[in-house]
Every structure is written in C-alpha cells, then in structure tokens.
Structure 1
C-alpha cells in the first residue's frame, strides 16, 4: 500500500495535517467548476490536480515533518514536477500555471530554463511516481482538455491565449487557497444562494421604493427615459455597450438596471461595477445594497476597494495569502485599479479573483478616467473577454471617449444604449461656466471668493492643494474637506453631513480633490474648479445644479498662480488639448468639441504606441514584465489604517492580522472603514520617522496625528503626489 502523503503541516491553526491526495482532488474539483464558465473546466481541473505533485518526493515530505517539529518553512521547491508533467502532456505555456501557483506566473524564457532543470532533477520523477500511485489520474492526457474555442480564438485574436492562461491560473490559485482554507479553518465559505440572474426583480422593487422616498426633481422624466432605454438595450446580445449620458441623468441606477436585466436574460454569473475612486465604491455599494439586499437575508453586494498588496508580504505567510479577496459574490463593487491591475498581474493573491470575470456583466463607470497610456491593452482585454469568456462590458460616462477609434475595437461593434444623446445633453444643460485664467488668481483670492458663497464646492488637483485651500477658506468661515488622506468612514460621514446641509439649505463650504467629481451625488449652486482636463472639469460641473432646481448653476474655472504644478504633469497631454480647445469661447460640455478633444489627446499621447510594449509582452507570455509595465497610477499608494471611530475594534483587527490567524479575509473587510491612503514615498518616510508601523502586506498603521477635517495631514516628499 502506498505511503500516505501530506500537502500541508499541522502547525497552522492547530489542525490536522492536510492530506495531499485530498488536496489535489479538492483543488481540481473547484478549479474545474470555475473553468467551466469559460469552457475550460477539464483544463483547469487538470492543472489543479497537478499543482502540488512535487510535494510527493521523499525529501519534501521529510522537510514538511521537520518544519512541523521545529518551525520555519519546508524550503524545498515543489513546483517543477507538475510543471514538467503538464509540458510533457503537450500543454506548453499552460505549464506556467503550475510553476507560478505560489510565486507568480513566470516569463516564457524562465519557464523553458526551469523545464530543462526539471528534466534532470531526480525529485521530479520520484514525486510523479509516488503521487501517481495514489492519484493515477495525473497521467490522463491533458491535451484533450483544451477549450473547443481555442483554435478559432488563436487565429482571430493573438491575445486570447494570454487571457486563457490568466483565467486558468486564477481558477487554480483560488481553488488551491479555498481548499487549504477549508481544511485549516474547518469551515466552508458560505454558498451564495442568490445569483446575479435572480437580482432583476429585487432591483426593480428596490428602485421603486427609492424613487418613492426621494424628493421630486424637474429632471425626473429625463432620468426615467434614460432608465427605459437601458432596460430595452439589456435585451440585446452579449458584447460591448456604451451609455453616454450627462451627469445627473441617473447613470448609477440605469447601468445597474441594465446589468441585472441583461444577467437574467443570459443567465450570467455576476455583476462587477468598477469605478475610478474609492469614494464612489462606498457610495455605489451603499445604493446597491439598499436596492438588492433583504433584511436577514444573504449578503449580495461585495465592496472591494482595499489596495492591500498581500503578495508583498513575508514568504510562507499562508494565511496572509488566503485573505485575498476573490469576489465570490453575485454583485461586486470595486475600483478600476483593482479590476485591471488584477487582470494584468502575475501574482496569486491579486489574480485569484480574475476567473470571476468570466460570464459576468462588467460595468465600467466613469470610463473617461482610464489612463491613456494603458488604453490599448485595456480595450484589447475587454474585446477578448466579450468574444471568448462570455462577458458583457458596459462603458458608462458623461464624457464618453471615442474608444471605437482605437485599433482593438475598430472591427468590434459597440452598441449605444442612448439612441440620441445630443438632445439629452441639451435638455440637461444646467451650468454656466465662468473663467478666471488671465491674470491667474492666487489660491487665497479663490478661497476668499468661495467663502463668500452660501453653498460652494471647491475642487483642486492634489491632496496638497486641498489641504492648503481648506486652510485658506477656513480663515473666512468653517469648511469641510474630502480626500483619500481621510479614513473611509470619515469620508462617508463627511459626505452625509454635506448632503444633510445641502438638503436643509444650510450654509456650507467644501474643499475636495477630484475624488468628489465622479459619481458622488452632491448638488451645489456654485462650484470652483482648478483647471484640469476637459472631461474632469465637466465631471466637477456635474456636482453643480445637479437636480436642475435652478435655471443655471455657476461653475468657475480658475488657473491658480500658486497651485501645485504637479497638476500639469498629472494631466499631461489632456491638459494641453484642453487649453487649446476650451475656455470662454467653448465650454467643456460641447459634445462635438469633446470628441475632437479626445482624438487630439489620443494623438498627443500616442496611445497606440504607448501600450505596444505591454501587448508585445502579452504575446510573448512575459507575465512579470506585463505586470511591471501595467500600473494604473504612476506612483503606488499604500493603504493606511487610521484611528478614526471605534479604535478598540481597530486594535482587535490589527492584532488578528499581525498574528496571521485564519479568518483574515473577514478582518480585512472589517478594516475598510479605517483605511486611508498615502503615496508610497510618504508612507516610507513616515515609518522611518516613527509615525507609522507595518501590519501585513503593504498595509501600515498610522501612529501620528489625525486632523479632524483633513485626516492624515502631512506633506508628501514627492511633488508628483497622487490625488486618488
């Protein structure tokens, strides 16, 4: 009788050792179920079955017992055996799924070198032989498991194979994590009894309740017409759809309505709404929960915006990696950064959620915020997802870019949900622009003018300018502040206070970074906006006279003489194209001018060439290089836990995370209200000065002062600071 083999030691969570036979088959079962959604169930199952075959060698088994007795790691590589066997079975680049299931997908050059090494490694043959005695199905011919659509896709789409590898890898690492988690925690993650296809009726009922309790607005009829057109379009086939609708036209509800009805029609797995800023995920998730969740029923809406990098932690911290979010909910609200950096990553914790995209409706809200330099790989991936992975993509924006001019989408139909957008934009034109550009005003002058308005919003381009403008306005009157330097709960409470004061007609002044200008439902009579790209200025104007209760609101565009010059670098060619086309002679809500602006902006930024290296890396299967090049923001931020609100609860969460106990995923979700962000350079400097301490991954705890209005109030050491 074959010797019993083990996959994991007993030291984590004080539970029994994890049997290797059970782990391989359990992982294969889960991975296969995930892969079925995109026609690759047998392939994903076979990769899952082989992922830990290398643990069958005598040396690895002895190392596990040693590590269990004395602590530490096994320290013996186990990925070569399964990688080698998959390659010999004819799966080629798919063998990278097994090789990278802990450390990340390799590049093809390294994969070839490792396969050559595996040819002569005696542990490889020994592990395969020993595991084959107890799991003989590892010898099944894997080549017959390839998706039926792959030959056609390989001919028509040179990036389809790249996406298939990513999807299978995601299915395998998620299955691996889930099987391991179930063994050591002794519990199975709850199954969602509500599917995306079940949500349409709930959505309609919730929407009726919401509208019944909402104050009437002069533009309610137009919003209803937008919603009707979205529901009609939802009856169409899967593919790429576009919702060009002005700010205040009810896009959040309309896009959600499209998604749930389209999912029901096609039996789709989930809905993923991606927005550019964390502040919008908090608002949108709250709206969708009110619509979709029943008191006492299952949780339906998952909000995931945490930027905690769990692949960045100490090697061997198994529970840390298990805590990564895997989007196992029927309705997910996340950020575009989380969505696309997961898709183009090569690390397991970040990628375990990627397979959930298959068979989903993906709503990209405020799509104009996608960075120009990454547009080609992004729209290329969106096209492949819709063609081969059963996805429908919805592009929603008041300032809709003409993505159809980009090469990946030139031969791909994009269906417009709003048949005649120009009359809608004209009917919802509620703002008049005033320009303060020459001479350039000082920040102090703008603060004085803004402070004289009864209800006013001032939007600037960086967290540094926001802090300074807030101080200047407060020299004249009390003011509120919004930026990502504030904890999520702090931002949420501030937004609630703002809405209450606006609804009650109380005086109020608010200073914010651009996080307020996309999807945040506020309605001021007057706004000030530091000059930015045309689309950004129009989005800011969407917070002015939003409900059309005034004949016109006023939006003042100013070019601050002493503002942070990082704005010029932040907006780059977009700002150049804006200055050339918009001003007192042409407002940024002119649709024809806006289309010409985007075309000029794409040309200035040489969009087609900008993404070429990433696309070449995808074709060459250089997964680490693609991940390195694909950064949604130029300088990374890090998540910061701050002492706002219930600090005793925060202390318990942080202690749990630092100890590395099971259940860390739930703790990370509970941590979200306490999270702010800092540029990586500022965070590093804060830790050097004792103002912050590490927690887990790249998460840090803030130990310094916290301003009651502005949150973490420190200067960034980098002039190119982030504003998100």
Structure 2
C-alpha cells in the first residue's frame, strides 16, 4: 500500500503508525497533526465559542465531525504521499462524510438539520440549504462513498457513532426562519474559527488566542486616562462652557449604562463628545453586565483611523499586547477573480485563488476593543465565506456601537435590522445607535414591535439648541458652478468645501492652485484616492494651520463629514441629503467660539457638479426636497428630520415602493428565510467591488524605513505567508479607485497584482491629490 511505503520512507524521521489517522502534514515542525487531536481540539474550542448562546453542544458535535471525510484511505494516502514526496496530490473532498454523520443524528430535530451545512461548507463557504438538502438526500439513499471514512474514524474515535442528537438552544423556535438562519451562521463561525485556530497552532506553535482582558479593567483605564486628558486640555487651553456640557452628557451616559442589555440610541449633536461618550457608555455597560468586548463600527475608513488612535491612547497598555484592534482592510484574499486574466507564474496559481496561510491569517476579532467599518461588520454578519464569517461569533455578548448609523444603506435596512435584532434577542448583544441625525428605524418592519429602544441621553433637543453653531444659506441657479464656488470660497482665509465625488474635489483643488503648479501648504485635498496615511497627514496639517490662524483651504469628499475634528469658520456643501449637510456643518464653528451669525454653511447646487441623485438615495432626495432648503427647514431641525426619515422610508418600503418586492431589502430577507446564504452574501455587499477596489500605494515621499515596512508586508502577501499584522501594516497605505480604472491601469502597467483582488499601484501619485482620476 502507498501508506505503508510512505511510512517506511518516513521511518526514523516522522512517526506515523498505520493504525492512526492524520489531519494535517508535518509542516516545518516535523510533527504530524493526528486526526483525533485536531477533531477534539476543534470541538472543544468551538464549544467554548458557542457557549454564550447555548450552542456549545451543537458546536462541539459539528467541530468534532467536520473532518470525518479525511478518514478515507484515498485521502490519507494522498496527504502522506504529498508530505513524503513534496508533490501536490489531488485528494477527494472530505466534507460529505461529516455532513451525513451529523444529519443522521439531527433528523429527530428538523430545525437543526440545516446546521449540516456547517460541515458541508467548512472550506468553501455556506451553501444554499436547498443544495445541501439535495446532496444529503442522495447520500441517504447511497452512502457507500462515505461509509469507509466514517468507519475508519470510528476506529480511533468511537464516540462519533453514539447516535445522540445535539442539544438545541432553549430559545430556538423552529418556525422562526430568521432565528434558524442566524443560528447556522453563528455556529458556522464558531466551528470555522476553532478549526483555523487549531490548525494554525499545529503549523505555527504558540499562543493563537489572546489572553483575556476584563472589561472592568479596561473601563477603569479608560476613565482614568480620559480624566487626565481633560485636565491637560484645560491646563493648556482653559475650561469652556462646551467642556462642561460634554462632561454632563458623559455622566448621564454612564448612568444609562446601568440599564439592561438591549438597543440604545445615542442622539447627540456634532461637537457634544459623541465618540468619547459612546466609548465610555459601551465599556461601562460591558463592565457592569459581564460582556466580552466592544465593537465600534463606522461608515468611513477615515473615521476608523481617527477613532482608533483616540481609543488606543485611552486603552492600550504602556507595555504588553495592544487591546484596540483596527480592522478595515479592503483585501479580499479569496477573491474569485481579480481584474485581468494572467497567472502568477512564480507561484503557479491563478489570480484570485486563496492560499492556506492567507486564510489562516485573516483577522478573527480576538480582541477586547475593535474599531472597524460598517462594511466589515455587515460582511461579517451576512457573508458566507470562511474568511468573512469566522469572526461573527465574537459579536456574542458584546456591545456593538453603530456610529453614524444614518449612513446604513436604505436598500439593505430590512435584513440589517432583522439580523441585528437576532443578535440582541438571542446572542446577548447590546446595540448602540449613535448619530447626530438619528434615523427613525422603528418605522421599518423588523423593529416595529417588541424591540424597545432606550435613549442614552434622555432629552437631546435642548442640546441641539445649545450647540447650534451655524446658520445655513442656499445657493442655486444657472450661475452656480464648481468654478464659481471655488472662486467665492477663495475670498475667505479659512474655508471648507465638501463635494459629492472625487472628480469634483479634484476640480476645486486645481482651481485653487491655478496655473501655479508649485505646492501651496495651505491648499489641501481629501478623498479616498489618497492613502489612509496621506489623509491622516492632511487632516493633521489642516488642524495645525487652523489652530495657528494660518490660511487654510480644504476641499473634501463626504469622508470628512463624520469623526474628523476640524473647526473652520466658513463652509460650503454641495447639495446632498440633510443628514450629510448637517454632518458637514459640524466642521464649522465646531468649538462654538464664533458668533452663529458669522459661521455660515452654504449649501450649493453646482450645474457642472455630480448630482446628488447619482450618489445618494433618490427617495431621500425626494423626501428632503419637500422639507429643506431656502424658505424651508434647515438640517438642524429635529422635527423636520424625523418627518423626513419617516417619509423617506415610506417611499421605499414594501407596498409603497415602485419595486413590488420593496426597496429596503425585503427580497434579501426572503432569501434569508430560504437559507440561501450565497445569494444573501452577494446582495448584502455594501461596497460593490464591481465599482471600487483598494490598491496599495508606496508613496514616493515615505521615509525609507516606512517604505521597507510596506514592501515587506506586500512581499508577505505575495508569497502567501501573511499574518494579521501584515494586513494591519498595509491599512494606512491603501487608496481606492473604480474597478474600470484599475483594469485600465493594469493594462498600462500602472498596477500589479499582490493577491486576490488586491493590487499595488505603481503609477503616478500626486503629492496632494493622490491617484488622479482620468482626464
């Protein structure tokens, strides 16, 4: 037999008794990963992960049996020959045996049967239940292809044939398809993460699970450092009425944190200290209720960069591993196909094919405080691939702060709200909805009944009046253009202009510079075409110049509208939605040091600019046009905002939509009820990679040490040996461009593949504007 020959060749080097099964090759350590060790190790870890929602027994069973198919002689022989000869051996699929084994025991509880999909898709992703059911039906009729594997595994692990049915979580209603759908997702996540961690521990011995950090300890550290920062701020700048208002708001939030877990609304005007208040509430609430972690999700990468830096200063220890994880990497290491059709000849794999180390290194959110993007959070909840879903179980017994919640896309609201409700009701999640323009989410079907929402700050309306710091003007007509606004704005010493797209921002910046192509340090530009590090430097330069009273002209896309602490005396905002206009106004007279009458935000409608209908929800624009504008309400009017949101949702939801199936994601919710995981994942993409892709840029102006660090991370990805730190090292060196533009750049030699759908930009990079849009 091949097994005997292989064993003979390995004698004296690698012990491999004939009566034992192996799960993984020796790797660099020279030690086989025995099957029973991997099966039991995965099962125990998965059970631990799933225990918070009563799914420990179910996850243990799925983890124990997930690799049953590896017991087949053909699979064992292939692995041993591959390890012995170094040649790549094609082995048979190993998911069917465990899928059938689990289904046989779960037949008595039909609600558990879809969990067989956890084993079926533990490498490839969750399949549609209808497809898994057909495969199971075929296996039930003729199980000959998997009987051998089950029998051989039973020889080393007799318990796989005990026939008992796993315990069902006591809250599960078999008739509730949303509950069944989420249970499969959460259990899949627990098993996938356990499998990957146990495998990683074999190939890379050492601690792969971070030591636990108690929320009470983090809360005390946060509070002590926050108070120290306040004392330092007041020492250098003096106390102000705004500091006192923020402190009162913060203390009220801490009192509200004692409330029981559930859904909370943090409705505060811009400048009221929402970031620190939200973090303080979350940590205090987690400490009081024994929750495991805090996840802060924000809509823009620029906010994660700033918020993560602030939270690190308050939470990371002076020595030892950090506790704040920033995760917004746009890398998809398992992209099915990236632009272009060439192959990576050096590594012998097609573009976009995953590699083992890239999958093992994917972030699994094993940290007590996480700052991520809303895109990553929604991908985690509704994805179906192992790399996206393995971190989902980390949300159980956590506080999720949805910052700038108004930025959730209307077209996905029904499934998002339904999924979040499941997490709150069955997985111990406390959800904090944070925004200065709080949407009326209770008007939508998933939250219309039975899900109370509490206010962190009981009476926000007076705060909005106290913190009214701007007056609005409206500029429309045929003479209003990007050029005319650029010229008007240039008459001020310090001004912010916010536009609807990167091309418009580029035009404003060029108009300010004029024919003088030399850099002017006072003329600044912000967009996603710049890397994260470049944006951070630009924001810091603007902040410093504003503080020193120097001339500052900044044009930006909407990424500046949330979480960027800049204080301009004058602003212009291209026509958009009222929540976006209010957010932009939050960068004007932010500290309240100027009279309101002199702090003007002009909302303009440029004839030659990108129209809001091309960027924003058309129903939102329609609802806004009736309420906001010259002679109507301004975006700070809370009653008008409330009416606007209700009207906006009525225009879209269910029978009121032009789409007979609804325009807030009702079709996706129906797919969830059918357990069609791949199609749900496809439709839930908040950023469609058909339109926007990330690229790594090694900027010419980086210092040599930084350039070498980025190049090292790129090389690690390219050679298939990344770690989670690799992705974090690249985050501030990523910019974003449209897919079509990237395809043209690849053909022109301006971009080269790294891995998956991630490329390195090697074309020109403007020192102020980043990657220029095509002429």
TM-score by length of 2: 0.89
Tell me how far apart the structure 2 counterparts of residues 683 and 360 of structure 1 sit (CA, whole Å).
38
Q: Which residue of 2 aligns with 1:722?
A: none
Q: 1:565 to 1:298 in 2, by over 3 A?
A: same
Per the alignment, residue 595 of structure 1 pairs with 642
For 1:356 and 1:285, the matched residues in 2 are separated by 19
Check the 8 A contact 1:31/1:44 in 2, yes or no.
yes
Q: How does 1:491-640 map to 2 (within 5 A)?
A: 491-552=535-596, 553-565=599-611, 567-585=613-631, 586-606=633-653, 609-610=662-663, 611-634=665-688, 635-640=690-695
Partner in structure 1 of residue 348 of structure 2? none
Give CA deviations for 1:671-711 in whole Å, capped at 9, x if unaligned.
11211122222222221221111112221111101110111
Instruction: Tell me which residue corresponds to 2:128.
Output: 107
Paired residue for 1:42? 57
C-alpha change, 1:538 and 1:116, in structure 2 (3 Å) is: same
3-state DSSP class of the match of 1:219?
helix
Give the corresponding residue for 1:480.
524
The yes-or-no answer on 1:337 pairing with 2:360 is no
* 1:406 counterpart (439, 444, 448): 444
RMSD: 1.8
Structure 1 residues 354-503: aligned runs within 5 Å: 354-411=392-449, 412-475=451-514, 478-503=522-547
Cα distance in 2 for residues equivalent to 1:322 and 1:638:
23
Report the counterpart of residue 720 of structure 1 in structure 2.
Answer: none
Q: Aligned partners of 1:481 and 1:30: how far apart in 2? A: 48
SS for the counterpart of 1:319 is: helix
SS at match of 2:607: coil
2:717 is the counterpart of 1:654: no
Is 1:288 aligned to 2:311, yes or no? yes
Contact 2:505 2:557 survives alignment (8 Å):
yes
Cα pair distance change 1:143/1:684, threshold 3 Å: farther
Residue 263 in 1 paired to residue 286 in 2?
Answer: yes
| Paired residue secondary structure (2:181) | helix
Aligned to 2:343: none
Q: How does 1:25-424 map to 2 (within 5 A)?
A: 25-68=40-83, 69-72=85-88, 74-90=90-106, 91-119=112-140, 120-141=142-163, 143-151=165-173, 154=174, 157-214=176-233, 215=237, 216-312=239-335, 314-315=352-353, 317-411=355-449, 412-424=451-463
1:147-168 CA-to-partner distances (Å, cap 9, x unmatched) read 12214xx45x441111111000
Residue 669 (structure 1) shift: 1.5
Q: Structure 2 CA distance, aligned partners of 1:629 and 1:565?
A: 25
Stretch deviating more after TM superposition (387-396 or 667-676): 667-676
> Structure 2 vs 1, CA of residues 267 and 350 (structure 1 numbering), >3 Å: closer, same or farther?
same
Q: Compute the displacement of 1:71 (Å).
A: 3.1
Extract unaligned runs of 5+ from structure 2. Answer: 1-16, 107-111, 337-351, 656-661
Segment of structure 1 superposing worse, 259-268 or 412-421: 412-421
How many Å separate the matches in 2 of 1:513 and 1:73?
51
Q: Give the CA deviation at 1:14.
A: 6.1
Distance 1:113 1:2 in 2: 36
Query: What is the CA distance between 1:249 and its match in structure 2?
Result: 0.5
Aligned match of 2:109? none
Of stretches 391-400 and 290-299 in structure 1, the one that deviates more from structure 2 is 290-299
Which segment is superposed worse, 140-149 or 206-215?
A: 140-149
Q: Is residue 2:723 matched to residue 1:664?
A: yes
Contact 2:61–2:166 (CA under 8 A) maintained in structure 1? no
Distance in 1 (CA, whole Å) between partners of 2:215 and 2:654 is: 35
Query: Offset of 1:507 from its aligned partner?
Result: 1.1
- The 2-side partners of 1:316 and 1:712 are apart by 28
Deviation at 1:316, TM superposition (A): 5.8
Cα contact 1:532–1:571 (8 A) shared by 2: no
Paired residue secondary structure (1:453): coil
**Contact persistence 1:304–1:333 (CA under 8 A):** yes
2:25/2:33 contact within 8 Å kept? yes
Deviation at 1:323, TM superposition (A): 1.6
**Maintained 8 Å contact 2:496/2:554:** yes
> Do the aligned residues in 1 keep the contact of 2:482 with 2:608 (CA within 8 Å)?
yes
> Counterparts of 2:368 and 2:258 in 1: how far apart (Å)?
20
Contact 2:532-2:734 at 8 Å conserved across structures = yes
Q: CA deviation at 1:502?
A: 1.3
Q: Deviation of residue 191 (structure 1)?
A: 2.4
Q: Distance in 1 between matches of 2:392 and 2:328?
A: 15
| TM-score after normalising by structure 1 | 0.95
- Asked if the contact 1:461/1:567 (under 8 Å) is kept, the reply is no
Change (3 A) 1:325 1:366: same
Following superposition, the deviation at residue 183 of structure 1 comes to: 0.8
Larger Rg: 2
Please give the per-residue CA displacement for 1:453-484, whole angstroms capped at 9, x wherever unaligned.
Answer: 11111111111111121111222864111111
Paired with 1:567 and 1:687, the residues of 2 have a C-alpha distance of 31
CA contact (8 A) 1:93 1:108 kept: yes
CA contact (8 A) 2:334 2:354 kept: no
Structure 1: runs of 5+ lacking an equivalent: 717-724
Q: Does the CA-based 8 Å contact 1:38-1:389 persist in structure 2? A: yes
Aligned residues: 711
Inter-partner Cα distance in structure 1 for 2:479 and 2:429: 48
Q: Taking structure 1 as reference, are residues 70 and 83 closer, same or farther at Cα in structure 2, changes over 3 Å only?
A: same
Q: Please give the alpha-carbon distance, in whole angstroms, between the structure 1 residues aligned to 2:306 and 2:576.
A: 24
Q: Give the direction of change, closer, same or farther, for the CA distance of 1:163–1:597 in structure 2 (3 Å limit).
A: same
What is the CA–CA distance in structure 2 between the aligned matches of 1:197 and 1:160, rounded to whole Å? Answer: 31
Deviation, structure 1 residue 381: 1.1
Q: What is residue 758 of structure 2 aligned with on the other side?
A: 699
